[in-house]
Amino acid sequence: MDGTDFVVPPVRQSYKQPIDLRLALPCAPPAAEAREPAVSAEHVPVQPKSDDHAWQQPGATAYVRFGHLEGDDGWYECTLGEQEGGAWRVTWKNGDTEPDRLPAACLARAPPAEKPRDGALHRWVEVYWAGDAKWFLGRVVGKREGELKIAYTDGETHSHVMQDEPFAGAGAPPEIDDCAPEPWRFAEAPPRPKKRRRTAKATKPCGPPEDQRLCKLVYQFLYHRATTRRLMYPSETVVSADGKALPAATLPEAGKGGFDHGPLIQSLGKMGNVGRGLDSGTVTMGDFVRAKLEHAGLQQGSDAWVGQAVLMCVHEMDNWLPDVNKAWTATTPEGGFRAPSTLGALGGANFPSSREEIWSFVAFAETLWDLEKPKFAGSFQNQGKRLLTYLPLRTYEIDDVVAALRAARTWADACDALLILSGVGDYVGGQALCTFFFGVCKGDVSRFAPNLDATTMKSFCLCGPGPEGVVKKMWGGVQLGKSEAVKRLAWLAENAEA
């Protein structure tokens, strides 16, 4: 990469300052230029309806709302400084030391009383679609310029101008004009679907695989794959799950009987998390996450620490390209986290983990679809733009994830906790949990789940369709449910020396 694949216009680093997050077309970055911040109709906060500005004097307290920033519906308190024409210099009360210059018309003496509609952000609602004569359930995931953005349970996302008050009656609301605000009402969250436990379509005793030839071939493949990676990266330090360093990697020589490698699969093979080994990538990611949380000043093991760590491990498994993460990091305020160069490819990068960072990342990532460039690594391109709908939802689901992890007693319970997050399936959830457990927590479950019996990992894992398909063929092509496939993966790990 020559540094021009993802070029971001220089922006003023204040989360209150109106920021243009549109990605520039590939070009050389423009030279930095010191200039007075302009006040334009396009980049100004929401203007209060009152035109009485007599109260505006140096030292007076004022309030500002930045409605053009999606997801930001709060009022910010500031103190007026010097007046310059029709604008005021202001200093923010929330600790931001960078002053701003704002038009007088955008300053309110006090925040207006909140309407019920304003409290709908991030809550479940039903919106009445007159054309279908039905109420449709969704979650309010954004608010911008008077519109609420609804992520519906059928997978569609729409923005609406909503009525100030929720509809309180039963049945259909009164008819409205075509251009009138939409009727809506608060609703209960839908029951959470069961993602993992399915009824097996057929069962067979979990004994040895019927296809021994295929079984041996799978062991060979896993050993060769793991060993080849170690030979490609000889500087990597690789340890088994018990923390012991593995012996030097060598490929078997043809004709020397070097294909009976079952014993090594227990430490090298990665079938879900059964027999998972720790390569330097897991260790480096753990170092990255701990450094970020320390920079944020979060207490180790606290709910916020666990929640943000899990979100970063899931973000890694979403497989955004490193250049995307670094391009977003360049738009974040100076003084924010930047990984040290000692972390290799992660050096200089940040992963979004707080609510504010995730909203910022979503706004940035939305611009990438205007460029015909890959956003994700390898085969993850099919994730598509729908992932941007999941990211904000995760910030409101993570508290439930942390609570479920705290209460987990088995590895299956812990895996179920990760599946609470929107857009997280078996593969992403299982691997993210392993990275969190092995990499971030270094195998110490007391940091997040004091009641968890880590030995239950030997008999359970989450996996994608690949291992399921292999297991199906090994055991005679029988159609297996998820739980039956997992039993057989555990059998392969337990009997690797057989």
HEC secondary structure over 392-408: HHHHHHHHHHHHHHHHC
- With beta carbons less than 8 A apart as the criterion, state whether 346 and 291 touch: no
Check pLDDT > 80 for residue 439.
Answer: yes
**pLDDT exceeds 90 at position 154:** no
Q: Which of 121-130, 237-246, 434-443 has the lowest mean pLDDT?
A: 237-246
The predicted-structure confidence for 344-361, as pLDDT tens digits, reads as follows 889 999 999 999 999 999
pLDDT at 18 over 80: no
**For residue 233, is pLDDT > 80?**
no
Which band of pLDDT confidence, cut at 50, 70 and 90, is reported for residue 258? very low
Weakest-pLDDT range from 328-332, 413-417, 490-494: 490-494
Please say if the pLDDT value at position 160 is more than 50.
yes
pLDDT in tens, 133-142: 899 998 887 7
% of residues, the chain, pLDDT over 90? 19
With a cut of 50, say whether residue 23 has pLDDT above it.
Answer: no
Distance of CA 102 to the CA centre of its chain: 34
Report the distance separating Cα 285 and Cα 276, nearest Å.
16
User: Of all helices (H) and strands (E), which one includes residue 264?
Assistant: helix 262-268
- Which of 330, 352, 354, 350 is CA-nearest to residue 340? 350
Query: Between 9 and 400, whose confidence is greater?
Result: 400
Phi, psi of 325 (to 5 degrees): -60, -40
Beta strands in 221-288 (DSSP E): none
What backbone phi and psi angles, to 5 degrees, belong to 199?
A: -75, 130
Q: Above 90 in pLDDT, residue 260?
A: no
| pLDDT reported for residue 78 | 87
Strands 147-152 and 75-84: unpaired
DSSP state of 378: G
Look over the chain and give the mean of its residue pLDDT values, rounded to a whole number: 74
Torsion from C-alpha of 358, 361, 366, 368, nearest 10 degrees: -150
- Cα separation, 405 vs 416, in Å, equals 9
Q: Based on C-alpha coordinates, what's the Rg of the chain?
A: 27
| 483 has pLDDT over 70 | yes
* Dihedral angle over CA of 35, 38, 42, 47, nearest 10: 140
Both tokens of 491, joined, read 């059998």
Integer Cα distance of 189 and 393 in angstroms? 13
Is residue 75 scored above 80 in pLDDT? no
Question: For position 313, what pLDDT does the model report?
Answer: 95
Q: What percent of the chain has pLDDT over 70?
A: 66
- Tell me, what's the pLDDT at 470? 77
Average pLDDT over residues 261-278: 43
Give the C-alpha separation, 200 to 479, whole Å.
8
Average pLDDT estimate for 356-378? 85
Span 217-242, average pLDDT: 62
At 267, is the pLDDT very low, low, confident or very high (cuts 50, 70, 90)?
Answer: very low
Task: Report which of 15, 11, 8 is spatially closest to residue 356, judged by C-alpha positions.
Answer: 15
Q: How far apart are CA 320 and CA 383, in angstroms?
A: 10
Give the pLDDT of residue 201. 46
For 431-466, give one letter per residue: b (16+ CB within 10 A) or e: bbbbbbbbbbbeeebebbbeebeeeebebbbbbeee
Please give the pLDDT value at position 239.
56
**291-307 pLDDT, tens digit each:** 999 999 999 999 999 99
Number of Cβ within 10 Å of residue 145's Cβ equals 10
Return left, alpha or beta for 436; rule: phi > 0 is left, psi -120 to 50 is alpha, else beta: alpha
At 108, the pLDDT band (50, 70, 90 cuts) reads: confident
- Residue that is written with structure tokens 């210059």 in the block: 101
The answer to whether 138 and 150 have CB atoms below 8 angstroms apart is yes
Instruction: Indicate if the pLDDT at residue 69 is higher than 70.
Output: no
Q: What is the mean pLDDT of residues 171-198?
A: 77
